[in-house]
Chain A
Amino acid sequence: MGSPSEVGAPSKRIGVQWPGWVIVGIVLSILPFILEKGFSPYYLFLAIKVLVYALFAVSFNLVLGYGGMMSLGHAAFFGISAYTCSLLLVKTSCPAILAMFAGPFAAALAGMVAAFFSVRVQGAFYFATITIAFSQIAYTVAYKWRNFTFGDDGIQGIPVPALISTEATYINMYFFALAVTVICIYVVWRIVKSPYGLLLRALKGDPVRATFIGMRGDRYRFIAFTVSALFAGVAGVLYAFLETSVAPDVLSWTSSGEVLLMSVLGGMTLFLGPAVGAAIMILLSALVTSYIKYWPFTMGTILVLIVLFCPKGVGGLVFDKYKGLAKGA
């Protein structure tokens, strides 16, 4: 997948060489067996959840870190996809494979609509306001339109395809989620490293200069937003399969806030920073909530510390240390 190099000011490339990736591959392949046999299926469940949110956060960061758009409504795309896929499976005889693709497709369409209205807006504050308004529309539909969406009961007992069913074991689901996540993150990586990706970063840095090299900035933002919604949608489908239930909460603005926090926590200036943030948030939340009930308080405290003392996020901190070591060697 190449190296996680910085969004902002890429210094010398610090590549993770192929032996490194082989080791990562081996660890990820034996991890589910160790977790499920050695510890408990719950840990494997958490590992899959990390994968799902890693994909969500990385695709979200295409908009935030690379596009410079402060979207506060990204959970809408994650949720619209999860709902579309689940409703098709529960209410129709739609084949699972089709439902799996229908979810992200619906998310991308919703992304286009939201992007159409939001990308031309100047200023982070107004952008955030418009995106939050869009996500609240989606939330309200899911919450209030009981006949169609089952309201606040949510959708229970989603018939997950037998191949990746989690009734007996999470292992198949793990490998499915791993494959989908790796492929999608790789595609986002290629986009980020492409000429389009470079121009998107340029646009973020100075929109006026971008106009005066001939770019239509709103079009570039529109594409980034739509692609991001598409992959957030893929994560949404994985979520529905993992949980086998979906509730309106996935669409709420607090869910959008969570993915934003993951990006900030992990470091939005690094390609894989948001994935690191997702892992930390999910594992920490599981750990903290098993002892005390003050998870939001804990998370808030951590976030304040991160923003004050480590604005590049945990990923950025590690990256800088690694860079220091590489230089010293």
Chain B
Amino acid sequence: MAVLEVKGLTKSFGGVRAVAGVNLEVSQGQFHSIIGPNGAGKSTLFNLICGYYRCDKGSVVFKGEEITGYRPERIIKMGMGRSFQVTKIFPRLTVFENVQAAVLFSAGHGLNFFSDSKRLVLGRTEEVLSMVGLGDRSDETSGVLSAGDRKRLELGITLASNPELLLLDEPTCGMSPVETNETIELIQRVSSEKSLTVLFTEHKMDMVFRVASYITVMNFGTVIAAGHPADVRANVRVQECYFGRENDASRC
């Protein structure tokens, strides 16, 4: 069953068609990667799916409900979680409070004015923190964490509200190969434990082809190929978009 269905999604900025009629289907439990060169429209597509941008045309259906035009908060509450290419955390809060804030909100404590927040949802917060491997860093101010740890923390914040679909925008951006492997393993482990569906963008091709169960390739705002890793690897248009056409060199 498709968790997410995108049909004919289009968005222009001025004269630039950043996303031009994209169709996409993400089925339950998929580890679905979107790849493509810089400027292919991957991040814009994410922002359209989660309601951060309004699309010009097309529709987004999430768990059978059309969510086109919904505000992001509403989409998040329906069970979508997202992380950003440039990590977004709450820099002045401690690592613990970062996750706790998300847990408190999703547990309906948002407008609780008089309980002591130091006594609430501690167990669940610790559970999420240990899931992303930050259990022993609770008291640190999150703003001083390394890039890799910030990404983990952001993943923790995202997981705190129990999403069914994770949208991860370059989850290993700026990480060393070791950190990249750790992070991807972490995402794979968590998503299989919680039976999550994951849609992520990446630039690290070897990693994507190793771990993704399905790959969609974008270029110039459109989908140029989609399929299982082996099929995509063999696709001529994908090769052209990354390596140039076969006769490019001879034409010079």
Contact = CB atoms under 8 A, between A and B. Distances in A.
Interface of A: 7-12, 190-191, 193-199, 201-202, 204-206, 208-216, 220, 223
Contacts of A12: 139
A199 B100 CA distance: 9
A190 B72 contact: no
B115 to A, nearest CB: 6
B73 interface: yes
A58 to B, nearest CB: 16
Given A196-B112, A212-B50, A216-B73, A8 B92 contact: yes
B112 A195 contact: yes
Interface residues of B, number: 44
B91 A195 contact: no
A193 B110 contact: no
B141 interface: yes
Interface in B131-172: 139, 141, 143, 154, 157-158, 160-161
A36 B118 CA distance: 42
Contacts of B160: 213
Contact of A201 (B88, B93, B114, B161): B93
A205 B92 contact: yes
Interface of B: 50, 52, 71-73, 76-77, 81-82, 84, 88-94, 97-98, 100-102, 104-106, 109-118, 120, 139, 141, 143, 154, 157-158, 160-161
Contacts of A216: 71, 73
Nearest to B111: A196
A191 B117 CA distance: 10
Smallest CB-CB A-B distances: 9 pairs: A205-B90, A195-B109, A209-B88, A214-B76, A9-B141, A202-B101, A213-B102, A8-B92, A195-B104
A258 B223 CA distance: 58
Contacts of A215: 73, 105, 110
Contact of B92 (A9, A191, A197, A210): A9
A209 B89 contact: yes
Contacts of A194: 112-117
A10 B97 CA distance: 10
B110 A212 contact: no
Given A194-B113, A195-B115, A213 B105 contact: yes
Contacts of A204: 92
Main secondary structure of the interface of A (DSSP, over half): helix
B114 A190 contact: yes
B85 to A, nearest CB: 12
Contact of A202 (B82, B93, B112, B139): B93
A214 B88 CA distance: 14
A204 B84 CA distance: 18
A213 B91 contact: no
Contacts of B100: 198
Contacts of A191: 113-114
A8 B141 CA distance: 9
A190 B92 contact: no
Contact of B117 (A197, A209, A212): A197
A31 B115 CA distance: 33
A141 B108 CA distance: 42
Contacts of B101: 198-199, 202, 213
Nearest to B100: A198
A202 B160 CA distance: 15
Given A214-B105, A215-B110, A195 B89 contact: no
B161 A213 contact: yes
Given A211-B73, A213-B76, A214-B77, A195 B93 contact: no
Contacts of A198: 93, 97, 100-101, 104, 117
Given A193-B117, A193-B118, A205-B93, A213 B106 contact: yes
8 contacts: A191-B114, A195-B115, A198-B117, A206-B88, A211-B72, A213-B76, A215-B105, A216-B73
Most chain A CB atoms below 10 A, which of B76, B101, B104, B154: B101
Nearest to B78: A214
Nearest to A68: B92
Nearest to B101: A202
A65 to B, nearest CB: 11
B110 A195 contact: yes
Given A206-B90, A211-B52, 11 more contacts: A194-B112, A194-B113, A194-B114, A195-B105, A196-B113, A198-B101, A199-B101, A209-B89, A212-B50, A213-B101, A215-B105
